[in-house]
Each structure stands twice: as structure tokens, then as C-alpha cells.
Amino acid sequence: MKITRMHGAGGKVMQDLIKNTILGNLENTSVNGGIGLKDLDDGATIPIGDKEIVFTVDGHTVNPIFFPGGDIGRLSVCGTINDLSVMGAEPLALSLSIVLPEGFDIDELDKIMKSINEACKEAGAPIITGDTKVSNVDDIVISSAGVGIVDRGKAIRDSGMKEGDVIIVSGNIGEHGMAILLSREGFEFETNLKSDVAPLNNLIKNVLDAGVDIHAMKDPTRGGLADSLNEMAEKSGLGINIYEEKIPISDEVQSIADALGIDPMTVANEGKVVMAVKKEDAEKALKVLRRHPLGKNAQIIGEVVSEHNRVIMETIVGKRIVDTPIGDPIPRVC
């Protein structure tokens, strides 16, 4: 068997590769009893004293490298910041590894680095180490790692849902993947659609500082909301009931998705968070989210149940199972 793009597109194909070939060959995957690689969370933790260091890494090969609303540089910072943030950590610092193809335009690299700098300022996290190489890659590749900190035992895991929890998504889904698709393929839609790529640490911090009891969180990137909800359900052993009419989708994204036969639930986001919160805290969480520009379209979309362990959507014509996608329908989006 050969590697295909589907092996890096989120969903079942990628999960099988990670579980069977990558994890299957690694024995030592955690430190001091912390969250490790085999937990397949958004990051890992290293318990030290009364704190835990949260550590994550991400690689970026987006095509095109400049797209409406962002570029590969902004994406590399935000993706890493968000993986730390959904684990409840305060981001501290990032690393940056850049692999450049021979002949890459230095002016474009300059634009990318300026974008990285702006995203770091938004997130309040510096780049403190890095590496640069020139190789025979097709286009620029950026890998970024991040470290954050959280009180010991307070890291938020994607497996932590509890029966009765309310599911909240912070805003309109599908914008990043659709913006990439339109920019790449040149479809002639009249639209001002932009990627939602943004650092979520301040938004999430506001919710935590308000005392909201968040039991699980994910940022629904590759594979979209469908993939994240299924992962949360599978890991917790619980089910999720969601309501189609409650899921925030802009008219632009819905129209484009309908025209192209794409389910917005499976499309990548880069500036959204989905969280399972204690039922009694749901309205407070919603109010806090909506006070922030990145959460103005936040919605309660469902609840956690014990009657099944699937993701089931209630629509105007009945109920349907929302499966884990085979892969993201739009490759090379992050």
C-alpha cells in the first residue's frame, strides 16, 4: 500500500494510519503519567510539580499558501495556539521549522514572516526557536510546535464529556475549507468568503475565567465538526444528539456546499472551538462567547446522552447518523 493524500486528510483513513502504522511501532509515548501520544488528543502533557506543561506540534502544507483571510504563516501559528488552548492551557511559546523549495520568492517569504509575527502578537506568544532548510519540496512547508501551561490535573481532554453536557460551537462552520477550495479551484461564485483562521486562546480563556465547567474541547480542523464530534463521542463512550437547525452555517458556505455536493459538517475550520460544558453553565458560556468577536455566532447545537455512542442529527425530515468522514473533502487545507 502507498501513501495517498487521504492519509493526511483527517477522518477514518488517517486515523487507521496513525493507530496501526505510527502508534503500532512506538512503545514509550508519555511522560510522568501525563497525557501522551496514544491518547490522540490535541497535545500531550508533562506533569511537573503543581503544573503541567502542554506540548503540541503541527505541520502545514496548505495550497494555495496565500488565501482569502490568511496564509500558511498565520495558519501555522493559529493551528498550534489552538491545539494548546483547547486543552485549557495558556500558550507560552512556539517553535518554527521552515522547509523552502529552491527558487522560492524571498518577497513571499517576507510576507509570510510578517503574517507570522502579527498572529503571534494576537496570541501573545513568541517564536523562541526555529530551523530553516532548502530542499526539493514542491512548496513551502512549515512545522510549528508550542508549549503551554496549566494547573496539574486541569488539562481538558477531548474524552471528558459527561452525560447531560451541552454541546456548543463558537461560530459558523466550514469557512476555512470553503475559502481554500474557491481560491484554489477558481470557481466563479460571487462571494466575499474568507478563512476563519484565528488564535482562540483569548476566547477560550474568557470562558474558563467565567467559571464555566468545560468537560471536553476540540478545534474542528481536518474532517470538520463531524470528525471532532465523533472523536469526542468515541473516546467518552457516550453519544451526542445535535440539531441541524441549530448548527451555525453562513448562507455563503451553505450555498457553495449545496452546489458542489459537500457536507459543511466535514469541512475544516481554523478559528472555531466545539466544547462540551456542564448543562447548568451552558447559557453563561454562550453569553461569554458571544461577547467576543470570534464567538459572536456561537450556538448550542446539542447534548450528550448515554442511550447510544454515535453522533445523531435531528433534521426536518427525521434523524440521521453523522459518521466520521473518510477524509476531509478538501485536501491540503492546513
- pLDDT 10s digits, 153-170: 999 999 999 999 999 999
Q: What is the pTM of this model?
A: 0.95
- The residue ranges of every structural domain in the chain are 5-151, 166-321
What's the pLDDT score for residue 306? 98
Instruction: Decide if 5-151 and 166-321 have a common fold.
Output: no
Q: CA geometry: angle at 78 spanning 108 and 288, to 5°?
A: 140
Per-residue confidence at 9, pLDDT binned at 50, 70, 90? confident
> Are the C-beta atoms of residues 278 and 187 closer than 8 Å to each other?
no
Q: Quick count: other Cβ atoms within 10 Å of Cβ 185?
A: 10
Which strand (E) or helix (H) includes residue 234?
helix 224-236
- Span 53-79, pLDDT tens digits: 999 999 999 999 999 999 999 999 999
Q: How far apart are CA 173 and CA 158, in angstroms?
A: 19
CATH superfamily of 166-321: PurM-like C-terminal domain (3.90.650.10)
Q: Are 93 and 144 in contact (CB under 8 A)?
A: no
Q: Average pLDDT of the chain? A: 95
pLDDT of residue 78: 99
pLDDT of residue 231: 96
5-151 topology per CATH: 60s Ribosomal Protein L30; Chain: A; (3.30.1330)
Q: What is the pLDDT of residues 81-108, one digit of tens each?
A: 999 999 999 999 999 999 999 999 999 9
Q: Contact, 176 vs 333, CB < 8 A?
A: yes
